[in-house]
Amino acid sequence: MRVNQRNVFSTHYMDLSDFEADNSVSCRLSSSIPDVCKTEDCCLGIDEAGRGPVLGPMVYGICFCPVSKKEDLKNLKVADSKTLTEAERENLFLKLDEAKTFIGWALQILSPNTISTSMLQRAKYNLNALSHDAAIGLVQYALDCGVQLKEVFVDTVGPAEKYQEKLSQRFPGVEVTVRPKADSLFPIVSAASICAKVARDHAVKSWKFAEDLGDVDTDYGSGYPNDPKTKSWLLKYLDPVFGYPQFVRFSWSTAQTLMDSKAVAVHWDDDEEDGEKAAARQNNTSMLSYFSRSKPSELTHTRDTHRFFTERKLQSINTL
């Protein structure tokens, strides 16, 4: 009965349908903006959930309320999401949502596919940069909605000082505090961490696979690379050609190691390759050959194919 009830709550209070409609991209969810936040000086907390797992999305959350209401927030007894049970988190999210007259929140759900494609694209976009940009995007969203931001509290990603400097420069006029463990130091960050964690849990639990996997085994454990359940799930759903469903972060070394050993080798043209090997593959002549007394025979003999063909990568063939 309890489980059922929680599901009712979750669908009612945190509607993930926008994300579920297309879980291959990044998605923003948000509460309505309390009127008081547009007139009074506000503080804002930022935190993330699901940074480490190889499965599922990473969720960035912000929570904001008037500076004057900090005490009310304390009374809600929000605490670092990691110290709470799932039921307690759900409960606290409910309370936060009920306090919508002075508390607002917004979430950025970064789908595993977004993470994979960002980190594996040609110009690498690492997880820290992705995290920073998600945080910046959410703060900007609050500002755009008219929230009178004066203080921002962030749990750090990377070196705290550099991050604080980056955020301060990006948002002049807002006092930015970046601290490790900010989620246990500042209630507004705890609140943000609860929003993020609840969204992450829901997204993972009710993941809708875009791939046709039949009856999917959803017993994937915590999603963290060291969880044996997660690992056996990864093995079970490894396709030799395609690798994994989009639910999996391809950029995680756990996923890559398994693909390297169990899946078909796929070569991309930005793969790192030994210079000499690459030269051999491209039919280039090794630099060394130019220093030896006799030039390699193929250099002196064959006529070069006309550039019309070489420019168009066309060549005669003698076998199919």
Partner 1 sequence: MTTKKKRSPHTDNDSWVVIAPDSALDTGRSKEGDPSFIKLKNPATGSSSLYLFGSGDVSLYEVKAFSEDFRSWFIGQTVQRDGRLLYVTPIDPLFLLLPYIFSAATEGKFQQVEQMVMDEDYPGCTRLLHCTQGMNSLHHVADEKEVGGLKFHRYNQEKTLEWLKKKVHRTVSTLKKSNISVGGGVKSSMFIRVKQEDAKEEDYLRYAHGLISEYINEDLSKDLLKHLQLPEISSPKETEPPSKKRKLSDKPVEAGEDYTKFNSADFARKPPKKMTAAQKSLAKVDKTGMKSMSSFFSPKVKQEKN
- Contact yes or no for 107/196 (Cβ under 8 A): yes
Nearest to 14 by CA among 93, 79, 92: 93
**Nearest approach, Cβ of 48 to partner 1 (angstroms)?**
23
Least gap, CB of 310 to partner 1 (angstroms): 9
Which is nearer to partner 1, 25 or 266 (by Cβ)? 266
150, containing H or E segment: strand 149-155
Nearest-approach distance from CB 268 to partner 1, in angstroms: 6
Least distance to partner 1, CB of residue 250, Å: 11
Q: Using CB under 8 A as the criterion, which residues of the chain lie in contact with partner 1 when the complex forms?
A: 241, 253, 256, 260, 265, 267-269, 271-274, 281-282, 302-303, 305-309, 311-320
Considering the complex, state which of residue 112 and residue 187 has its C-beta at the smaller distance from partner 1: 112
From residue 75, give the alpha-carbon distance in Å to each of 22, 120, 188: 37, 44, 12
Name the minimum Å distance from CB 163 to partner 1: 25
Residue of 59, 56, 60, 61 lying closest to 112 (CA atoms)? 56
User: Phi and psi (nearest 5°) for 267?
Assistant: -110, 130
Encoded tokens for 123: 């110009």
Our CB check for partner 1 shows the closer of 286 and 305 to be: 305
Q: Which is nearer to partner 1, 121 or 253 (CB)?
A: 253
Distance CA 151, CA 167 (A): 12
**Least CB distance to partner 1 at residue 53 (A):** 19
Q: CB 105 → partner 1: shortest distance, Å?
A: 36
Please name which of 67, 62, 190, 51 lies closest in space to residue 138, comparing C-alpha atoms.
62
Nearer to partner 1, 75 or 253 (CB): 253
Q: Which is nearer to partner 1, 215 or 274 (CB)?
A: 274
Residue whose CB is less far from partner 1, 31 or 246: 246
Contacts of residue 185, Cβ cutoff 8 Å, sequence gap at least 6: 153, 179
- Alpha-carbon span 233 to 242, nearest angstrom: 16
Give the span between the Cα atoms of 81 and 79, in whole angstroms. Answer: 6
* Cα 271 from Cα 283, distance rounded (Å): 17
State which residue, 71 or 269, has the beta carbon closest to partner 1: 269
CB of 253 vs partner 1, minimal distance in Å: 7
Token pair of 267 as six digits: 């070569």
